[in-house]
Amino acid sequence: MADPFTSALVSDVVGKLTSAAFQEVGLLWGLENDLLALNNTFRQIQGVLYDAEMRQTNEKGVEEWLKTLKSASLEVENVLDEASTEAMIQSLDSIKHKVRTYFSTRHNPLVVKTRIAHKVKNIREKLEVIDANRSRFQLTPTNIREDAAGIGSENSNGETSSLMSKICGRDEEKKMIVDKICNPYIGITRNDDDVRVYAIWGMGGIGKTTLAQYVFNHEMVKTHFELKCWVYVSAVFDVQRIVKQIIKVICGPEDLKDLKLDEMSLDDLQIKLQNKLTGKKYFIVTDDVWIENKDMKKWDELCKALRCGTKGSTVMVTTRKKDTAQLMAKIPELQHNVAFLSEEESWSLFKMLAFPGGREGENVRELELVGREIVEKCKGLPLAVKTLGSLMSTKEKVNEWQLVNDKFVSEMQDNGILTALRLSYDDLPPHMKICFAYCCVYSKGWEMSKNSLIELWMANGFIPSQGDVSLYMLGEEIFSCLVRRSFFQDVVEKNETCKMHDFMHDLARNVMRHDCAVIEPSKELITSDEVLHVSLSCHGFRFSKLDLKKLRSLRSMLVFDDDYQSSIKQISSHVYLRVLYLNKIKSSTFLNRIKSSTLPESICKLIHLRYLKIYQAYIEVLPESIINLQNLQTLILEDCRWLRELPKGMRYMRNLQRLDTNGCDSLWHMPVGIKELTNLRRLSQFVVGKEDGARIGELGNLNLLGWDLKLKKLQNVRGLRDAKSANLKDKTNLKSLILYWSFGRSEETNDSEVVEGLEPNSGLQELKIERYMGRVLSPSWLVKLVNLTSIKFSVLKKCEQLPPLGKLPSLKRIQLEWMDSLECFHDEDNSTSKDEILFLSLQELEIRLCPSLVSLPTNFPKLQSLEIYSCQKLRSLPDDIQSFKDLNQITIHWCEILRRRCEEERGEDWPKISHIPHLNIRSLELHDGGKNEDKDEDSETL
């Protein structure tokens, strides 16, 4: 398969050589003539690239020529990058007296000029030879594809996110499966300890996962089961990893903070999961299982933690192997073989994707005739139908459709799915090909973050620039295009995460087989100087010095495993690295000490670095020499709990677009001058300084900030005017805001003024306020947040009055916790006027540890879940609770008055709630006693 990297790389080099920025770089280093000559040579080569790529499969000489061109192009890009980086460092000359200690003689202008000139001379000589061979192969010049430079060049008719969740046909199968798993009496054996398993099996691409997703999201299933969880398993059945995944899904991010799952043994994890599942009816999907008879001990280990659910609890398994289905779901009634789609079902799926929103025109009839021929060749395989349907949505002419149909016939092999995927892949522009193929650095089944993907594409230079449009926005267009083309699936929550089908992953890995080394358990490591990207998810792996020496052109190093053994110093010898992703690196890999106080200086010498992620490392400070990383766009220091201070020189890292310090709870303050990082688009938290560090006003001009922002140590804000200087109102991209005061204060200082001054934009979707000490919380701007969907107030110990939350039209979730003085909601939230419907969209209400609360508002028309914990004075449930049509879950723990009123058959409120499918009511005495916490006779679970 053609290498996508060379075309994209040459286009990128030409773009850089002709840019105004590089004209200035050429002037600085005296390279004007050299850059012009390089540009002319690359232009000549670019004209024949398409012909060369078409001929490389059958002509070994052309294939070798392309390899040599690719290697030379990488060298050119490295030299241009070095020249640009050194120019940025020289531009800091005006402040060099402040930061001169960060720079070595390596950055002396005369030394730099000589070094770069020598490299340019060498590369020009290589390119002259390559250009001469161009004539020897008689390569034919062709016009560069029009879409080679465009981002979203294809037609995109209509919405796609809703299409991804639809499933054509299989109506009888869907109904039968839902009915069976919701019937607790089907498949129950004499052995009460058996876990009920329903298995869906069939060949790859047949639609097993899609069918399971339909069942998982079915309304009847949502109502029938208390807990639902989806886990991707893959070829390696790792019990410990699976148990961790289930716990993470069930608990959610808030409850996971103090669990330290990574430090738990399997026994501890099983006990933790048992505690979560005991007394609950659960539905757990384990997707893509390959277990065999010899591995059944592993399944038994998992079952130890699953045998505590109530009657009807079910594990659904998807697998390609009939034997696996029979091993796990021992009763034939709970085994389902997924059949091929019928011809009409296939056509319906194809038509839905190829003609989104319907297509009008005089050639529609002709397109349908060709389309039916394509569908027939897909042989009822949904993945093939879906991929080609998505491809055809970008074609308007009959001859374009016929061309795809003819290629499908000529290239058809034993596996029609891979042929279909290749056809769709070949139709992508070069930059989209490489963006898709790069995704193979993740393991199969990995839930990929859209933000991370785009940042990695940017770091590697895969996204071609288009004037002043931000690379991130262009990356979003590429991502959306790949979603529309069905290269990504399982797109979740406004396209924030996605996955790749296993066959798509195989395609990507095949495309990148020379460029990417993916190190996984039981896989042989093959290294060469062609490898550009290394991905490691293999426990306890250690590179040999020889292997690392071979990786001379390395650009990406992604370490996903938490037991990487090689020295960081070894990695940092790869001077051309653009991406360094280190996950849970142990301190021994830094400086071979028990605790390392700082990031190794060697990392700060990687001047080409664009993306640096360090997760859960034992570091206290970053060295000031990090200013050398002038190209850095993304800096993620996640869960580095000992990190106290960021470098003062960070203000000079003007290309930084994301600074993520989530979980760095020891951080004292932000560095002074952070306001100068005007390209920042994402700042996870801002710790307000007092005597040292940045004041809150430094946020004022950072108006590109988006996503989420946590403001900490708000007690250091001086008042209303100081708070307003943060200018949150103009940060239109901000979606989530956390306002956080430090622990240990006994009285409020100016909390209400500060909240009033921190008015966000009306587009805000999530708001959390923690450790506010005022008696009244009622900022004037809250009622303006018409897009707010979630609100949480935590540890507001003295707050007696809430703002009128009922008037927020989009609010779906309210969480209140540790509010000692709160007696009731705002008076306006208790209105009984028929003219005004309050809490119009609220679906979830959770109240914890509010010991003074005595009443709740009367009406929540859309409420689905009500959870109340430790509210000892709460006297009753809402009067109109019987009319809450969507309410299906009530949890009441340790609220004695309320528990008695809700007691089965005897309580005053029992008639109001007896119809609710999931009731979980637990007493205070039970909590205090502890011994019988999970016994059915002491808690009502219906």
Per DSSP, the residues of 592-608 read SSS--SB--GGGGG-TT
Tokens 């800091």 belong to which residue? Answer: 92
Closest CA to 353 of 161, 162, 163, 152: 163
Q: 335 has which bridge partners? A: 199
Query: Residue 518: helix, strand or coil by DSSP?
Result: strand
DSSP per residue over 200-258, as a string? EE-STTSSHHHHHHHHHT-HHHHHH-SEEEEEEEESS--HHHHHHHHHHHHHHHHHHTT
Element (H, E) at 81: helix 60-91
- The CA-atom distances, in angstroms, between 208 and each of 213, 323, 336, 408, 525 are 9, 16, 10, 25, 32
- What is the per-residue pLDDT across 887-942, written as a single tens digit (0 to 9) for each? 999 999 999 999 999 988 888 989 999 999 888 887 755 444 333 333 333 344 33
| pLDDT attached to residue 578 | 95
| pLDDT attached to residue 309 | 86
Q: 580 has which bridge partners? A: 557, 612
Question: Helix/strand/coil (H, E, C) string of 683-751?
Answer: ECEEECCCCCCCCHHHHCCCCCCEEEEEEECHHHCCCHHHHHCCCHHHCCEEEEEEEECCCCCCCCCCH
Task: Give the CATH architecture of domain 514-667.
Answer: Alpha-Beta Horseshoe (3.80)
CA distance 706 to 712: 17
- What is the per-residue pLDDT across 565-580, written as a single tens digit (0 to 9) for each? 455 666 767 888 999 9
The band of 156, judged by pLDDT with boundaries at 50, 70 and 90, is: very low
CA distance 137 to 143: 18
The domain 366-374+388-511: what is its CATH number? 1.10.10.10
In terms of C-beta density within 10 A (0-12 exposed, 13-18 middle, 19 or more buried), how is residue 387 classed?
A: buried
3-state helix, strand, coil in the chain (%, to 5): 45, 15, 45
Q: Give the mean model confidence (pLDDT) for residues 248-263.
A: 75
Sign of the dihedral through C-alpha 576, 513, 440, 236: negative
Tell me how far the alpha carbon of residue 272 is from its chain's centroid.
26
CA distance 799 to 821: 6
The band of 367, judged by pLDDT with boundaries at 50, 70 and 90, is: very high
| pLDDT attached to residue 360 | 67
DSSP state of 363: T
The band of 528, judged by pLDDT with boundaries at 50, 70 and 90, is: confident
In terms of C-beta density within 10 A (0-12 exposed, 13-18 middle, 19 or more buried), how is residue 906 classed?
A: exposed
- The CA-atom distances, in angstroms, between 275 and each of 115, 186, 669, 871, 934 are 64, 26, 39, 23, 8
- What is the per-residue pLDDT across 712-768, written as a single tens digit (0 to 9) for each? 999 999 999 999 999 999 999 999 999 999 988 877 789 999 999 999 999 999 999
Residue 596 reports pLDDT greater than 80: no
Residue 165 reports pLDDT greater than 80: no
Residue 495 reports pLDDT greater than 70: no
How would you list the strands of the sheet with 533-536, edge to edge?
A: 516-519, 533-536, 556-559, 579-583, 611-615, 634-638, 658-660, 682-683
Q: Give the mean model confidence (pLDDT) for residues 837-846.
A: 94
CA distance 124 to 112: 18
CA distance 267 to 649: 47
The domain 181-337: what is its CATH number? 3.40.50.300
**Vertex 661, ends 660 and 667: CA angle to 5°?**
150
CA distance 379 to 385: 9
Hey, which of 18-27, 505-514, 828-837 has the most confident mean pLDDT?
505-514
Q: 28 has which bridge partners? A: none
User: What are the tokens at 202?
Assistant: 């069939």
| pLDDT attached to residue 107 | 67
Query: Residue 110: helix, strand or coil by DSSP?
Result: helix
| pLDDT attached to residue 467 | 81
pTM of the model: 0.85
- What is the per-residue pLDDT across 26-38, written as a single tens digit (0 to 9) for each? 777 888 888 888 8
| pLDDT attached to residue 138 | 79
Residue 149 reports pLDDT greater than 50: no
Average pLDDT, the chain: 84
- The CA-atom distances, in angstroms, between 356 and each of 161, 349, 481 are 12, 11, 14
Where are the chain's structural domains?
5-144, 181-337, 366-374+388-511, 514-667, 685-777, 789-942
Strands (E), 565-670: 579-583, 611-615, 634-638, 658-660
Hey, which of 39-43, 515-519, 664-668 has the most confident mean pLDDT?
664-668
- What is the per-residue pLDDT across 209-240, written as a single tens digit (0 to 9) for each? 889 999 999 989 988 998 999 998 887 888 99
CA distance 144 to 8: 12
The band of 777, judged by pLDDT with boundaries at 50, 70 and 90, is: very high
The band of 635, judged by pLDDT with boundaries at 50, 70 and 90, is: very high
- Contacts of residue 508, defined as CB under 8 A and 6 or more positions apart, other chains included, come to 436, 437, 438, 439, 440, 500
CA distance 760 to 727: 8
Tokens 């021929």 belong to which residue? Answer: 373
Q: Looking at this protein, which amino acid is placed at residue 869? A: Y
Residue 423 reports pLDDT greater than 60: yes
244: number of Cβ within 10 Å: 20
Tokens 């390279």 belong to which residue? Answer: 31
